[in-house]
Every structure is written in structure tokens, then in C-alpha cells.
Structure 1
Amino acid sequence: MKLTCYVTLFVFVFSCKITTLVAQTKTIDSISELLVKAKDTNRVKLLLQKGDLVRDHDKDRALAIFDESILAAKKIDYANGEIDGIHQKAITYGMAGDYVESLNYLSQGIQLAREHNNLERLSQLHKTSGIVYKRLGDYSTSLENYLNSLEIIDSLGIKNAPLHVNIGILYDLLENKEKAIEHFEKAIDEASDESRDDTENSVLANLAVMDFASGDYEAALEKNLRRAEYAKKIKNNLDLCRTYANIGGCYLKLKDWNKSEFYFQKSLKIAEQLSLKPQIALYYYNLANLRFEQERYQDAITSINENLDLVAELNEYSLFRKSHDLAFRIHQKANRLPTAIHHLNRTMAYGDSLMNATKVKEIQQLQIRHDVSLKDKELKENALELQLLNTQVASNQKRLLYLLIITLLLLVTAGLIYRQFRIKKKSYAVLEEKNDMISKQNKTIETINSELEKRMLRAQMNPHFIFNSLNSIQYLITTNDRVNALKYLTKFSKLLRQVLESSINISLVLREEMELLKIYLELESLRFDNSFKYEIKIDENLDIEEHELPMLLVQPYIENAIIHGLMPKDGDKTLRVNFKDSDAFVICEIEDNGVGIQKSIASKRKKPSRGMAITEKRIQALKKYTDQELLKIENLNSGKQTGTRVTILIPKQGIHQTFDSKQAV
């Protein structure tokens, strides 16, 4: 609950930044003009400033600009600029949710700052590390980095109010209220005159969250009223909208119904002006809760129904669960038991979904920590190898110098010169042999990294596919279709068993992939009451035991054809899957007579498909084996005929090399 409140505060701050986008564009253009003539440290600083401005709307471009700043800093031996560039890359990756890369660059920045004894930048890097680990849920490591940063700035005699706010929030998450308040007070003490009002308001917001969570509603109310006055003063309507809702919540807990409804209405007015759907949905939830407390159950039912309609558009599990739970309690009190049972079932269903999502997030956090440890290990090994090479190069240089001195002083004979020449030649041969060995090791590491990336994408693909199947089973159960639910569950268990038995492999022979696809199509046909026909054909020249395919590569496109092509169509529905042979590729064609591309796109939800995004990455991973386009989507609409054809080219060379390297590993 506390973490959600702090994340909400962060979202409001980020939203405020969007309003400055136009002004930022003008600033970026001005910096670009200055960069044409800028040199040395000025060029590095301008690049860092430009990357910071670009990052809000184009993270990839920002990363390229920061890379350019790092190279420019290295050329002029400008350590501070290099550290700042690495730090900005870490922040950018963190904002994109790529915490492995973020922590990797933070580690590099910390090492470089220590080498140059730059304590101020070392403190900033530890502070950013604390933020990243907090987002990962690793509060102990986050606190360790925050305290390291605090120790450094204390030694430098620098005041940093925002750092104390961050530490206070973390202590509150750790349920150490005394420590949290202590750091909030320090933040106010160390705030500059220009930032004091903002700091006090930020601290006030966090203290209000703590008071409300502990049940001290009067204290929370007093702080929120002060926050509202400050928000009106600085004309921050986003913060004012949220604060009015919090004030209404406090009055609701204090059973002052009139004031509670008054502030809920004020929050709604601002939310409607700014088109804030989450806040509008929150208003109807709060109003339903108020009517429930007043025992006006019919009015409460009207408000909670409005809330459920809005929450459905937001597609957030935690909001679904919270709304259905209140709906259950309202209908139960109104003695509308069948409807109450329906909402109770929905509450339990979304609770299970939220639990599954939490488990997946925990697994991802563990994987991120594992990846970070592997990165650190790899960096240390590379550093040792580089140190060894430097030692060998230095040794050879000294040997050549000694040889020259001895030759000049002793005027050695031609035989001795020849002998020294042989020694020199042998040394170079040893160096070349070691360089060849290192080159081969680098190629092996690249191959392993490529395989790990493919396994990661395949590991992401399976949960997506399994969750879709579980949703289908859940649908049959909730519609009380027991016969089809049992059939579906039996076939799904068979499919799941085959997927698990094949989980060690990145690729499957064509026969095994065909078996998985047939079971999947049987499941989809059963799910949609056999409303479509399907057929799978294999070229007679294609050896199904020899050729291999990436596991479940074509399944998302088959799913897309069924869901978005065939299901919206009336009348005859047919799906054809053809596997053809060519010299360099296994060709898969997925053709349907559905509504076609344009209507399919119009009917899709705005949120992009997770499964299709993963599959596109898997296909991109195969493009290094060929220059041809591997994916082609055609609209078959002509006259009355409609449909879509998806053609996937799967390089034979890439799959066989993948399989061979997999066996070698």
C-alpha cells in the first residue's frame, strides 16, 4: 500500500515533465547548433545536456548521444565527462526497466569514480543504485547504497535534501517509522531557500501517507489540507486533484459525509478537466464507498457500476479486485445475493491473477540479480586477461630494450644476434598463439550470449502461451461448460507435458513442432466450438525428421489468425498452415479467409501483443544468417474474398548451427 502511494507520487512528477516537451524541443535545436562549433569539454557537456533532454521521448537516441559524449571525453582524457556519460546511460536503462544494464553501467561508473577519487560523483552513482535496487524490491541493498552516498556527502560537507527524502521513503517501506521521520526532518533542514517549499511539500505528502496507513486520519487530513493549499499556490492541478481525493478519503474515515462528498466532487471536477480516467474511476469508487457507509445501497450500486465500467478500460488487476470486492459487500448488504456471489468470484479470480503476476515479478527480479552477477564476473575475467596481456607486452618491451643495450655495448657476434632473433620470433609466435586463443574464446562467448538470448526469448514465449490457454480454461469454467472444460484441460495437459519435455531444447525437429501445433489447433477449435476448419500440409520433399524449427515460433501467428482474422468473421472460416521446402529455408505459410488486415487492426486493442513482440524478436535473432526479409504479411482482400497470409522464412543454416552449438554447450 505504501509503495503504491510513493509510485503514484513519482508518476505525477513525471506527468508534469510532459508539459515542457515543446520548450525542450527548442532547447535541443539550440544545443545542436552550438555543437557544430563546440570542442573539448564544452562539447562533452553539451552532448550530456542534449541526451538528458532527448531521453524523455526517445531513449534509444539518448543512449547514442551519451555514447558519443563518452567517446569525446575519452579522446581528451576528461574523466568527469566520461563518468557523467556512463551515469546517464545507467539512468536511461533504469527508466526503460532494463535494470541489468542499468546496474552494469552503475558498477562501471562507481569503479571509474573511485579510480579518479571523485567523491561527489561517486555519491551520485550510489544514490542512483539505491533507486534501482528499490524498484527491484531489494530494500537492504538499496539502503546500503543510499547510506554510502550519505556518508560521502557528509564527508564533503554537502547538503542533499532529496537524498534524505529517498531514505525516509525507504525506511517507511521497511516499516521503521522513526527513522523515516528522522530523515524527512533532515531533508527539510538541509533544503536550500529556493527548494524549501517543494521539499516541505514532498515530506508532507509522505507523512500524510504514513498517517493514513497507521489510522491517524485527523493528522493525515491536516497535512493533506496544507498540501492542497500549496498545490493551489503553485497551480499544480494534477497534485491538487489527487490531494482533494485524499482529503475526501480522510473525511470518509472520520464519518463526515458532507465534507467527504464535497471534496470528492472537487477532485472529479479537476479530473474531468484534465481527462484523468484513473482519477474519475477513483471518484466513483469513493462515492460508492461513501454511499455504502451511509447505507444508501441503491445509490452505492449505481456508483460502483460506473467505477467498474471505467476500471475495465484501464485493465489493471489490482483495481479490478478492489472494485469487485466493494461491489460484493454492497450487493450483500442490499440482499442481492446472486450478484454478490458473482462479484465475490471475480474478486477471488483477480486475486489469483495478481498473485501470479507477483510471482512472475519475483522470478524476474531473481533473474536480474543473477544476470548482474554474471556480468560482474565477466568484467572481472576480462580485466584479468587485459592485465595479463599488458604485463606480457611490458615484458617484451623490456626484453627488446635489454637486447638493444647488450648489442650496442658488447658488439655480440652474428651468431648471438641470430640467436636473439630466434628468441624474438618465438616470443611473437607465443603472443600470436595467445591472441588467437583469446579471439576464439571471444567467439565462443558471443555464441553463448546468442544462445542465452534465444533461451530467454523462448522462456518468455512459453508463459505467454500457457497463460492464454489457462484463460481459455477459466472462461469455459466460468461459463459452466464442464464438458468442454474437461476436454480442453485434458488436451492442454497433454500439450503442456510435451512443452515441458521439450523445454531443454531451443529447436525442435519439424515432426515434434507439428505435433505441438496440431494439439494447439485442437484446443483452439474446442475453445471456439469448432467454429472454424483447419488443415496442415507439409511439402513431400521436406524431411520432417531432419529439419528443425525454433520451438513455438509460428504459434503466435496462428493464434493471431484465429483471434483477429477468423473469429470476427461470419460464415465459413478456414485456416491453412503449409510447410514448404527451399534450398536455404523452411517456408511456413499461414493463410486464413478472415476479415483481413485492416479490419483486424481496427478490432485489436490498443495495447500491443506481448506474444507477437517476443516472436518478432525471435525472428530478428535469425536475420544474422541471411539478408532476406524473413517475415511477410499479405492482405488477400480482392472483391468478395478476404483473408491474410503470413509467410515466415526459417534459415536452415541458422537452425542447424543453433542446434549444434546447443549440443556443444
Structure 2
Amino acid sequence: KKYPEALELFKKGYELVRPSPEYVYAQNVCMLNIGAIYLLMGQLDSAQYYLDHSYSYFEKIGNSSALYHAQTQVFKLALKKGNIAEATKQLHSMTDNLQAEPTLVDIRKKFLQHYYEETGDYRKAYQYLKENMRMDDSIRNDRIRMRVAETDLRYKQDTTLMKQRLFIQKQQSDMQSLELSVYIWILVCVILLTVAAFIYFYQKKQRAFLLAETRNKIINLRMENIRNRVSPHFIFNTLNRVISHYNQSDSSYKELYNLIKIMRLNLRLTEKLCIPLAEEIDFVRTYLDLEQERFGPSLQTEIRIDPQIDADRFELPSMMIQIPVENAIKHGLRGKKGEKRLSVTVFRQDGNIIISIEDNGAGFRLQTGRPDMQSTGTGLKVLNQTIELLNAGNSVPITILIKKSSQGTDENPGCLIQFTLPEGYSYALPEGK
């Protein structure tokens, strides 16, 4: 009911569409509403002007809805002026429209109630009063339903909005949980990296310590070799002077010659970590020839080399055959009565080189509690230490097997020492990284 404000708005609307001929319908809609507002404000002359123009237009085009409303407004204008005759004339010319909006029908019936009150037809006025009351109730109910529907819509919108907010909060919570999980995983990774770095540097330090210990062992072994070489070197020089006084046909000459050869080979072999198989076998043959003079025909020796093995190129740790042969003579065969047998066999098997030294002597005694470090003397113990140092630098190690000989008896069980050397074995000492 803010009529002045509504009047200004419709006038502005009319001014917007007036310059355009294609908007003539909109122009007359604005004029009809302006006339209705003037009528409500009691400005009857202005209402007359706008209503007459719009009424004639809608009558001309035959727009039933707009014409229905325009007829109602003209009828109301006649009643406002108190011109009952004109109102009666308009009443008879008014047409009904079943498609008209209920609000427009309600307005017309209220004016008809007023008309019949003015003309004294109170029965019809009462009928329109009841219809108006029923219509008002219906409109009121419609408005209530609309308000209920609007409230329900707002509730649904608020519920939807609340669900959206809850969903967003849940997403944010999930994101926070995910971020927390990421931080936890990052922390776990940092801890694992720290632990891995600590283990790496600890192992590196341990390797450096083991390397230093290995080098110290090598230095000690070399120093021991140097000390052991002093006495043989002095004896070697003395024997050279003695043998110069013998005739080569003398029986003692060959024995002294073999002794000097052994000492010369021994001096050379102790300077090397590994030697060709041919040099090792040469030393062993010379040593056995020397012992043959002492034992006589009771000592039977045999050396067999697989023809597929190149003895000049295949290398093995220095004194690997010499030490077990020496032990077999000194500890196994020297005190034995009867036939004394000693064999050295070198052959290829499953991609490895097998070296076996076997005798039928008195057997051996364990000098250590470790099953892989069995030894019958200091020489084999030093050999074991040397092999341990070399195995540290190889993925496939040299293995040693010491057991009773297959040719032995209960009284003289004999001894079999067997070395397994992988082909391609490296004799370089391990270096620190």
C-alpha cells in the first residue's frame, strides 16, 4: 500500500518503454496500473485519463485478462464518482473471464458488493459479501500455504546449506587428517633415513676398523716372514760355501744341492702372496726328493696334475701344498712303520680346482676348536689366516676340508687335506671404501 512509491516505479517503467513502438503492450500495462494507483489514491481525474487510454487499447486487441481488469477499474471509477447510472452501464458491459487470476476476481466482487449496497439490493450484496469472505479465506489459506511452503523451502535450503557446511567441515577435517598423516610419514621417513645414515656410517667405521686390523695382520705376517728368513739366509750362504768343496759325483752333493734349492725356493716363495702351481709343485718335488734320501724305498709319493690345468698360469696361495706335505712327512709318516704313502692330486671339478694331499700316516690332532680352522701345526694355522684374509675380498671363498684318509686304518687313520679354489679367484687384498 505504498501508493506514491508504486506510482513512481510504474511511471519510470512507462518512460522506459514509451519511445519504442514494439513495446506498446507494455506501455498500456503501465498506464492501466498507473490509473489503478490514482484511483486508490483518490485522484479520480488522473485515473480517468489513464484508464480510458488503456481500456480502449485492450478492448481493441481483445486481451481478455487485461480487459477484465480494465473493466473492473472503470466500474470502480464510476462508483467512486457516485455515478450509479454509469456504473450500471459498465456492469452490463463487463465480461466474465474464467481464466482471470483469483485476486482480480476478488477485486471485482468487492466492487459488485459495494454497487449492490449502493443500489439497495442487499440480498445480492450479502451473497457477494459471503463470496468475498470465502475468497478472502481462500486467498488467506493460499497465502498461509505459500508461507508454509516458503518456510519449508527455507528450512530445506537451510538444511542443505547446513549439510554443505558439514560436508565442507568433514572435507577440511579429512584434509587436516591427511596433512597430519603426511607429516607423520615425513617424520617416519626422516627417522628411518637418520637410522639408515647412522647404520651406514657405523658400518663404514667398522669396515675401516677391520681394514686397519687386516693391514696390521698383514704387516705382522710380513715381519714374521722377514724374521724367519734371516736364519735360513745365513745357513743358505754357509751351505753354498760347503758344497763348493764337494765333487758333483759325490752322494752327499745331491742331498746338499736339494737342500740349498729348497731354501732358495723357500726364500722366494715367502715374499709372494700367491704363486703359479708349477712353482709350488717344483718346490714340493724337491722337498720329497730330499726326504726320499732319508726314508728310502719305504716312502712312496705320487703327484698327479690334471692335464687340462695350465700349471704355469694357474695361481694359488703360496705354500698351500708345501705346508700340508711337510706336515704329512713330519707328523704322519716319520714315525710310521712299514709302507708310507703320500699323494698330491690337482684336478678340476664343477668349475673349481680341487687340491688334495693325502697320506696313510698317524693322522692329525685338532689344534683349534673351529671346524673350518683345523690344523696340525703352526704352518697350517698361518695358511688358514692367509686364506681368511684373501676370502674377505672374494664373494666365493676358498674352503678347506680335513678328514681321515680313505686309505687309513684304525692304528694309522691317515689324513686327507682338500682345498677347493674357485676359478677366477682374486688374490688382491681387500681395500677400504
Give TM-score scaled by structure 1 length: 0.26
Work out which structure has the larger RCO, using CA pairs closer than 8 Å and 6 or more positions apart in sequence.
2
Mark the structure with the bigger radius of gyration.
Answer: 2
Greater share of helix: 1
Give TM-score scaled by structure 2 length: 0.38
